[in-house]
Amino acid sequence: MKEETFKKFVYTILFILIVIFFTKDCDFFFGFYKDIRKVKNPNDILVLVNKNNKLDDDYMPKDLEAIDINYAMEEKYIRKEVKIAFETLAKKAKEEGYNIVAVSAFRSYSYQDELYHTYVKTSGKAYADRCSARPGHSEHQTGLAIDVMGENQDYNKFAETKEFQWMQKHAHEYGFILRYPEKFEDVTGFKYEPWHYRYVGVEAATKIKEENTCLELYLQ
């Protein structure tokens, strides 16, 4: 009986160690950041940048423009076509009583590098990979992605706002998609981010919404 209890104890410890081994680096487990391809169409509106598709260190869009300060927390840059679409969206939302404000837009490779390594230093690599992107793997470097906040002025809690509900209904009409939906975490490689929107143009955004899919699957 004692031997039986001891065996159970050993098996439990082994099981815990195995679980820790596989979950400490989920990206390895799911195949992210392995088999990395270089992005060949960085200027394409439908460009795919994720944990397996990497932008060059020096890539920077050539048509970056500042977002109207009425719709941005501070000076934020985005590609011209996205700026027009986002300002149109934010203006329409405002007319209907919703305040949608950009908190992050274009981010350079070096800025992303700093951001990612701050996460690694403070919370470890597994956490950094879950909450941030390694440099070259962030959509923010394309100038096509925007993080937004609403009435509670906390992008982390954007899902709790009426602005989020508005975005759920209308973002696609302006060419934006919720880039990292909860149900596609295993496909996108990123945890659910209710605040992160990606410009893909009205046609693709409408199809992605109608088909209830994500960019990775849409482009396949």
Confirm or reject binding of residue 198 to Zn ion (CB under 5 A).
no
Confirm or reject binding of residue 196 to Zn ion (CB under 5 A).
yes
* Stretch near Zn ion under the rule CB under 5 A, chosen from 20-28, 61-69, 105-113, 144-152: 144-152
Confirm or reject binding of residue 163 to Zn ion (CB under 5 A).
no
Binding residues with Zn ion: total (CB under 5 A): 2
Residue 152 to residue 138: CA distance in whole angstroms = 26
Single out the residue of 128, 133, 143, 147 in contact with Zn ion (rule: CB under 5 A): 147
Least gap, CB of 129 to Zn ion (angstroms): 15
| Residue nearest to Zn ion as judged by C-beta position | 196
Q: Among candidates 165, 133, 130, 137, which has minimal Cα distance to 57?
A: 137
- Dihedral angle, C-alpha 174, 180, 186, 187, nearest 10 °: 30
Confirm or reject binding of residue 87 to Zn ion (CB under 5 A).
no
Pairing of the two strands 77-79 and 145-149 = unpaired
Least gap, CB of 104 to Zn ion (angstroms): 6
Catalytic residue among 75, 193, 203, 210: 193
Do the beta carbons of residue 67 and residue 87 sit within 8 Å? yes
Given the structure tokens 């990497």, which residue do they identify? 54
Confirm or reject binding of residue 106 to Zn ion (CB under 5 A).
no
| Cα atoms found within 13 Å of the Cα of residue 181, Cβ hemisphere only | 14
Q: Which residues bind Zn ion (CB under 5 A)?
A: 147, 196
Q: Which residues are catalytic?
A: 193
